[in-house]
Amino acid sequence: MGGESSTRTAPHSGGTGRTPAGGRTGQRLSGLAVALGLVLFLGGFAWGAVVYRPYTVPTSSMTPTIGVGDRVLAQRVDGDEVRRGDVVVFHDRTWADNAPVVKRVVAVGGDTVSCCTHGKLTVNGKQIDEPYLKGGPAEITDFPVVKVPEGRLFLLGDERQGSLDSTAHLQDAARGTVSRADVTARVDAVVWPMKGMLERPSGFAELGELSTPGPLRTIVWLVVAGAVLVLGGAAYGPVATWLGRSRSRNRTEPAGAR
């Protein structure tokens, strides 16, 4: 009949034969992405839980490196792995009853440590540059030369004036030193507030090998990559459906008058 118009649309498949949005290959790849993402995401968290322990630092003795109340991640290590310049967590009953203590290792067994020469800490006769200190110089009252016994460590806080560190225990039998066996972890990063990874101080490099950072960066990348894969794979179906509907609308065309 003249003047009558109709609309022709692209045929739709119906019934049980309808294929999933995006096709079978796309669905399989999205499922694989979600599965792989979950492995990376959960595996990263599991690895981190095994390797690291969180601590909240209750004092200001490590400022400005670590502030009071900062949350840190410390890698579980044996005392034998500790090097000069490391910030470590340890337990020593003469320092604090069963409470973890966070301080910086400035000398190890066999070292001779003293302060100060031109305002700088001296280890084995070498003046140590410590850029992490608040005021630049060692900021510490002079203390006598200490010969660190083998298997022990000499530790200071980065806030030298107010830190109850080895200098506060010089009259003890161990002359302020702590056994390597008392170390439980090495601080790798300040995570709250987000200050990032701690730098290994180069001032101690001439005295011996420095420690290497733990796998925290790798763990973070695994978790982030896993999250991206999970979200991307889960979003594939809805995105493919939306694109399919858009194409279907674009194929709709008006039929001429008959």
Give pLDDT < 50 ranges for the chain. Answer: 1-17, 255, 257-258
Q: Which residue has the tokens 């030298």?
A: 160
In Å, how far are 15, 21, 44, 245 from 240, measured between CA atoms?
20, 6, 30, 9
3-state per-residue secondary structure call for 57-73: CCCCCCCCCCCCCCEEE
Q: What is the pLDDT of residue 216?
A: 97
Beta strands 178-179 and 152-156, pairing class: antiparallel
Tokens of 163: 């830190």
Q: Which among 105, 106, 100 has a CA at the least distance from the CA of 58?
A: 100
Cα-based torsion angle of the residue sequence 204, 205, 207, 212 in order, rounded to the nearest 10 degrees: 90
Compute φ and ψ for 104, nearest 5 degrees: -100, 135
Per-residue confidence (pLDDT) for residue 20, from 0 to 100? 56
- Residue 96: per-residue pLDDT: 82
Compute how many other C-beta atoms are within 10 angstroms of the C-beta atom of residue 239.
14
